């Protein structure tokens, strides 16, 4: 493999773990995690990332690779250089908040799944950009998913409107709803979630309700 040209990015690591949320919840993945502001970061060149991925993939079994962490598409050049230099033997997934739809369109040829996560915090424009990213993935012919993580104060109406807009954007979208639950000896969901799923599926058939896997076992 030729190490030049190279780009560099700050990663929180390349850990192995279990996917906490979304379409591949519960799958064992190798994570390429871009570092957040408060996280300890290590600088990787694109060539160094390729070497690390190839090393770990030969040592253990993984369902897929997940590119995630803080704003991964802000490092588009780094990702393109790394993925152009390797042919991973497992599927490649991106987990993003959807704020860079134009970058997703460029990365899509390397992806088996583009997963857009909506946390329902911040301005309404966040949801708009997320839907634009879904459209970009669909236009690129890449399998795509919208993961909705409503908070305790998120109305059912907002969730349903988001699902309706998603269906209008691409009826091929896999929609996953993760209800907020409190940890403890028993996890309980009230009937609200059964009713919400009923209404959601009337708008978009490929909608499911899934519990997240909490850390430290669950990663994203």
CATH of the domain at 90: 3.20.20.70
Quote the number of domains for the chain: 1
Q: Which two tokens stand for residue 174?
A: 């896999």
Which of 192, 185, 187, 183 lies closest to 214 in space, CA to CA? 183
Output b/e per residue, 132-148; b: 16+ Cβ within 10 A: bbbbbbbebebbbbbbb
Q: Which two tokens stand for residue 200?
A: 């959601």
Q: Evaluate if residue 5 carries a pLDDT over 60.
A: no
pLDDT for the residue 171? 95
Residue 2 in domain? no
Residue 181's pLDDT band, with cuts at 50, 70 and 90, is: confident
pLDDT in tens, 102-145: 999 999 999 999 999 999 987 777 889 999 999 999 999 999 99
Q: Evaluate if residue 184 carries a pLDDT over 80.
A: no
Residue 1 in domain? no
Residue 2's pLDDT band, with cuts at 50, 70 and 90, is: very low
pLDDT in tens, 8-19: 999 999 999 999
Residue 154 in domain? yes
pLDDT in tens, 27-81: 999 999 999 877 788 999 999 999 999 999 999 999 999 999 989 999 999 999 9
Q: Evaluate if residue 194 carries a pLDDT over 80.
A: yes
pLDDT for the residue 4? 45
DSSP state, residue 24: T
Residue 64 in domain? yes
Residue 186 in domain? yes
Q: Evaluate if residue 156 carries a pLDDT over 50.
A: yes
**Torsions phi, psi for 117 (to 5 deg):** -105, 130
Question: Which residues constitute the domain of residue 147?
Answer: 8-219
pLDDT for the residue 186? 53
Pick 158 or 1 by higher pLDDT: 158
Residue 3 in domain? no
195: left (phi over 0), alpha (psi -120 to 50) or beta: alpha
pLDDT for the residue 89? 94
What DSSP element (H or E) covers 42? strand 42-45
Q: Distance between CA atoms of 22 and 14, rounded to whole angstroms?
A: 20
């Amino acid at each position: 493999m030729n190490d030049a040209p190279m780009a560099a990015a700050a990663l929180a690591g390349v850990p192995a773990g279990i996917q906490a949320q979304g379409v591949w919840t519960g799958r064992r993945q190798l994570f390429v995690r871009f570092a957040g502001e408060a996280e300890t970061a290590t600088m990787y060149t694109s060539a160094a990332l390729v070497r690390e991925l190839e090393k770990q993939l030969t040592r253990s079994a993984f369902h897929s690779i997940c590119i995630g962490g803080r704003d991964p598409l802000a490092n588009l050049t780094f990702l393109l250089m790394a993925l152009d230099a390797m042919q991973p033997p497992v599927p490649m997934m991106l987990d993003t908040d959807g704020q860079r739809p134009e970058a997703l369109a460029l990365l899509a040829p390397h992806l088996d799944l583009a997963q857009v996560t909506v946390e329902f915090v911040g301005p309404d424009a966040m949801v708009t950009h997320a839907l634009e990213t879904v459209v970009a993935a669909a236009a690129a012919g890449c399998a795509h998913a919208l993961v909705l993580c409503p908070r305790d104060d998120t109305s059912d109406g907002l969730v349903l409107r988001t699902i309706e807009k998603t269906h209008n954007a691409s009826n091929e979208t896999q929609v996953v709803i993760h209800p907020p639950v409190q940890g403890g000896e028993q996890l309980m969901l009230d009937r609200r979630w059964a009713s919400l799923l009923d209404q959601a599926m009337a708008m978009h058939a490929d909608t499911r309700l899934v519990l997240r896997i909490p850390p430290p076992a669950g990663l994203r």
